[in-house]
Amino acid sequence: MRAALLIAAKDLRQRLRDASAILIAIVVPLALAAALSATLGRATTATTFHLAVADLDRGPVAQALQYANRNRISLLAGGRV
């Protein structure tokens, strides 16, 4: 266990010394989030679409999707569309 912690600490020190690692870990995700937020804005309207389900195993997930599709139930909000 001690050896694993020493290796992890060494790797963390190496990553913190590398400026590109900080750029990739912090700056790029924040820039991407800002760009997506500016592009998409406040999308409050729901988009409806038809869903094709291949229920080959008769599993519970496929049955739930088919039920939601038949009864026009929103899968995200849990309410009717």
Is residue 1 located within the same domain as residue 39?
yes
For 11-32, the pLDDT digits (tens) are 988 888 888 888 888 889 999 9
For 52-78, the pLDDT digits (tens) are 778 888 899 888 888 888 887 776 654
Is residue 38 located within the same domain as residue 62?
no
Alpha-carbon distance of 81 to 79, in angstroms, equals 7
Terminal CA-CA length for the chain: 53
Contact 14, 22 (CB under 8 A): no
User: Which range of residues forms the domain containing residue 19?
Assistant: 1-44
**Amino acid residing at 45:** T
* CA 25 to centroid of chain Cα atoms: 17
Q: How many domains does the chain have?
A: 2
Tell which wins on pLDDT, 51 or 69: 69
Contact 55, 62 (CB under 8 A): yes
Please tell me whether the overall predicted TM-score, pTM, comes out greater than 0.85 for this model. Answer: no
Is residue 51 located within the same domain as residue 27?
no
Is residue 40 located within the same domain as residue 67?
no
Is residue 36 located within the same domain as residue 50?
no
Is residue 60 located within the same domain as residue 39?
no
Tell which wins on pLDDT, 79 or 35: 35
Residue 44: the pLDDT is: 65
Is residue 57 located within the same domain as residue 25?
no
